[in-house]
A and B are shown apart, each in its own frame.
Chain A
Amino acid sequence: MIKRDKIFYAACGVFLVGVILAVMEYEFALLFIVGAYLLRPSLHVFDLAGKQVDERQVQIYSRSGNIAFIAVMITAVGLALLRVANGETADEFYTLIGIGIAARAVVGLLMIGELRRTGVVIVVAVGVVITLFALASAGFSTPGLLIGFLGLLFASLGFVARRFPRAIAAVLTVIALAIVFSFKLYQFRPVGSAMTFAVLVILLAAVSLFLSSRPEDSEAGAELSKSVRAIVLAAIGLFLIVLFTSIEIGSESEDNKQTVDQVSKEYTEIEGIAAVGPFDYYRDGKLQSCTLARLDTLSGQPLPAGTVVHLTRDGALDWCFLQQDTEIQGHLCRGESHGFMTGFHPNGQLKTAWLARDEVIQGIPCAKFRFMSSLFGGGDATRFYDNGQLSFCTLSEDATIEGQKFEKGDPVRFDENGTLIVKE
């Protein structure tokens, strides 16, 4: 049953904007469409929906939200395991899972309404997570122990905060600002997603501790819970804006952009590759993945600095995330984000390409990747066989292939000899 009230009409407006942007092929149109769907429950969560949401709807939102959260987490874990089983990295999924669980924990703490306890628990939890993460990833090596110690030091701030909340709030603010400037988050670097969340969590702890030190805190009651909700709303909004901006335009930022000529000053030479971390290795010690510190040629393919490369056990280029749109074997492949994995066959031939422009390949008009089209099943990566023959693409215009008429947006498949594969 559709409830036609102010929120309904507002959601319709947001949805319409999303559709218009989608037609204009702006990828962030999806954000508006999702926003329209989530408008009512989101307004309710922050007590901004007034009488537009009644208590039964609240209960329904709460239960369905919990189920949706569990579904998203299970899906993310499943997809991460699938990636790992295929020998690929699953960093985006780990980030998603981490942010989901942390957000739930933080909001849960804030909803309890005991701000000092909230601040203390957040600080201790962040410290313990840093320590465990350091020990798990670096073991009992010097860096592992050092970072682990720093994590414990951070956690100890939580215990001090019980007695000196304002002082620790100030310290946490300084730490958050230090992270912002160290990682240059203000430049919307792609690293921003997980790190931005860490900064927001620390700032939330700082604000919680600061507010809890007010003399009127104990009498603040409902007023305080409203301010807490406002803080959470602002923090989540800011987080989404920064996350979205870092994904959408971060790599286009001129300040941040590494050009093919630019060379990172600090790099490590591994197996002949000038690379910067993070590094992954196979069990036999061979390099598995790294980021190129400068323009480099792998498996005969020149790749720009900043490209994340994944190598096979034999040291051949397996796949990469291009730092910027790059011409690979005559095809302009999309870079910019981890969403576009350019794959290679063992013989070095291009296997998977996310085209950055419409191209005619072997006489077939292939379309560049369009996010919105892919949502409706029309778009995907362009694929090739190891003999260089086009395997799959989405048509960029109407075409007649081997006597068969196809329309723009139709997917077409070919066998290794270039013969059209007709689906029965």
Chain B
Amino acid sequence: MKTNLRKFRFERGELSQQQLADMVSVSRQTIVAIEKGNYSPSVKLALLLAKKLETKVEELFELEEKDHD
């Protein structure tokens, strides 16, 4: 799964990972893991992130070819 979290974080006032983490009540490490592609967030967290970054979930996260296997 490809993530555009980092891009949206900067587009929304250059939010730091900690600031975004605080906004959605998770740890900074969780944001780091999502951005690195090491962790797939739950639907709830994905929706929360999208809401806080004023975008849609499908803009934030995209399926890759390998995810279709």
On chain B, the number of residues with a Cβ less than 8 Å from chain A's Cβ atoms is 11
Q: Is the interface of A mostly helix, strand, loop or mixed?
A: helix
Nearest CB in chain B to that of A55: its residue: B42
CB neighbours of A283 from chain B (8 A): none
Nearest CB in chain B to that of A1: its residue: B29
CB-based contact B30/A55 at 8 Å: yes
CB neighbours of B45 from chain A (8 A): 55
CB-based contact A56/B25 at 8 Å: no
Q: Is B26 an interface residue (CB 8 A)?
A: yes
CB neighbours of B39 from chain A (8 A): 56, 59
CB-based contact A55/B41 at 8 Å: yes
CB neighbours of B33 from chain A (8 A): 56
Q: Is A51 an interface residue (CB 8 A)?
A: yes
Q: Is A424 an interface residue (CB 8 A)?
A: no
Q: Is B19 an interface residue (CB 8 A)?
A: no
Q: How far is the CB of A174 from chain B (nearest CB, A)?
A: 44
Q: Is A54 an interface residue (CB 8 A)?
A: yes
Q: Is B4 an interface residue (CB 8 A)?
A: no
Nearest CB in chain B to that of A59: its residue: B39
Within 8 A of A (CB), among B23-56: 25-27, 29-30, 33, 39, 41-42, 44-45
On chain A, the number of residues with a Cβ less than 8 Å from chain B's Cβ atoms is 8
Q: Which of B27, B29, B33, B42 has the most chain A CB atoms closer than 10 A to its own CB?
A: B27
Q: How far is the CA of A32 from the CA of B63 in the complex (A)?
A: 46
CB neighbours of A55 from chain B (8 A): 26, 30, 41-42, 44-45
Nearest CB in chain B to that of A3: its residue: B27
Nearest CB in chain B to that of A56: its residue: B30
Q: How far is the CA of A56 from the CA of B21 in the complex (A)?
A: 12
User: Which of B25, B27, B41, B44 lies in contact with A57, CB distance below 8 A?
Assistant: B27
CB neighbours of B29 from chain A (8 A): 1, 56
Within 8 A of B (CB), among A1-56: 1, 3, 51, 54-56
Q: How far is the CA of A1 from the CA of B28 in the complex (A)?
A: 11
Nearest CB in chain A to that of B44: its residue: A55
CB neighbours of A51 from chain B (8 A): 25
Q: How far is the CB of B48 from chain A (nearest CB, A)?
A: 11
Q: How far is the CB of B37 from chain A (nearest CB, A)?
A: 13
CB neighbours of A59 from chain B (8 A): 39
Q: How far is the CB of A3 from chain B (nearest CB, A)?
A: 7
Q: How far is the CB of A2 from chain B (nearest CB, A)?
A: 11
CB neighbours of A3 from chain B (8 A): 27
Q: How far is the CB of A61 from chain B (nearest CB, A)?
A: 13
Q: Which of A3, A55, A56 has the most chain B CB atoms closer than 10 A to its own CB?
A: A56
Q: How far is the CB of A6 from chain B (nearest CB, A)?
A: 14
Nearest CB in chain A to that of B38: its residue: A56
Q: How far is the CB of B1 from chain A (nearest CB, A)?
A: 15
Q: How far is the CA of A3 from the CA of B27 in the complex (A)?
A: 9
Q: How far is the CA of A56 from the CA of B49 in the complex (A)?
A: 14
Q: How far is the CA of A54 from the CA of B32 in the complex (A)?
A: 13
Q: How far is the CA of A55 from the CA of B41 in the complex (A)?
A: 8
Q: How far is the CB of A382 from chain B (nearest CB, A)?
A: 49
Q: How far is the CB of B39 from chain A (nearest CB, A)?
A: 5
Beyond contacts A3-B27, A55-B41, A57-B30: 4 other A-B pairs, Cβ-Cβ < 8 A, are A54-B25, A54-B30, A55-B30, A57-B27
Write the residues of chain A forming the contact surface with B, with a CB cutoff of 8 angstroms: 1, 3, 51, 54-57, 59
Write the residues of chain B forming the contact surface with A, with a CB cutoff of 8 angstroms: 25-27, 29-30, 33, 39, 41-42, 44-45
Closest 3 CB pairs of A and B: A54-B26, A56-B30, A51-B25
In the complex, 19 of the A-B residue pairs with CB atoms within 8 angstroms, ordered by the A residue number, are A1-B29, A3-B27, A51-B25, A54-B25, A54-B27, A54-B30, A55-B26, A55-B30, A55-B42, A55-B44, A56-B26, A56-B27, A56-B29, A56-B30, A56-B33, A56-B41, A57-B27, A57-B30, A59-B39
